[in-house]
Amino acid sequence: MIKEIKFTDNALKQINYLLSNKAKGSFFRIAIKGGGCSGFQYDFSFDKAAQVDDLKYENILIDKSSADLLKGSEVDYVKELIGNSFKINNPQTKSSCGCGVSFSL
């Protein structure tokens, strides 16, 4: 189970909506990967099966390494003039780039 990571109602609704268009039993995966102009970036994808090191919350998977880096975060889904997107408020983030896609820890 994923502990110390909060999901807003908007995020859960959007995840469930997206999964309703995928094969039954699919999962929504959140991961932190190296890249971007600040060193790390969030990755959102779909997966058909959990891996050995995955933590699970409802139909959401996060690998253990990413979960450690997300500890204390809030995952939200926001609608803005520039578009709709998942936003993660991560208290462990030290800085982020101007575009808001990548960050450093």
Domain ranges in the chain?
6-92
pTM given for the model: 0.86
DSSP 8-state class, residue 19: H
Check if CATH label 3.40.50.150 holds for domain 6-92: no
pLDDT beyond 80 at 39: no
pLDDT digits (tens, 9 = 90+) for 52-66: 999 999 999 999 999
Instruction: Write down the pLDDT at residue 100.
Output: 57
Q: What is the pLDDT of residue 65?
A: 92
| Model confidence band, residue 91 (pLDDT cutoffs 50, 70, 90) | confident
Length of the chain measured in residues: 105
More confident residue, 11 or 92: 11
Q: Does residue 92 surpass a pLDDT of 60?
A: yes
Q: Distance between CA 13 and CA 76 in Å, rounded?
A: 10
**Collapsing DSSP states into helix, strand and coil, what is residue 15?**
helix
- Per-residue pLDDT for 38 more than 90? no
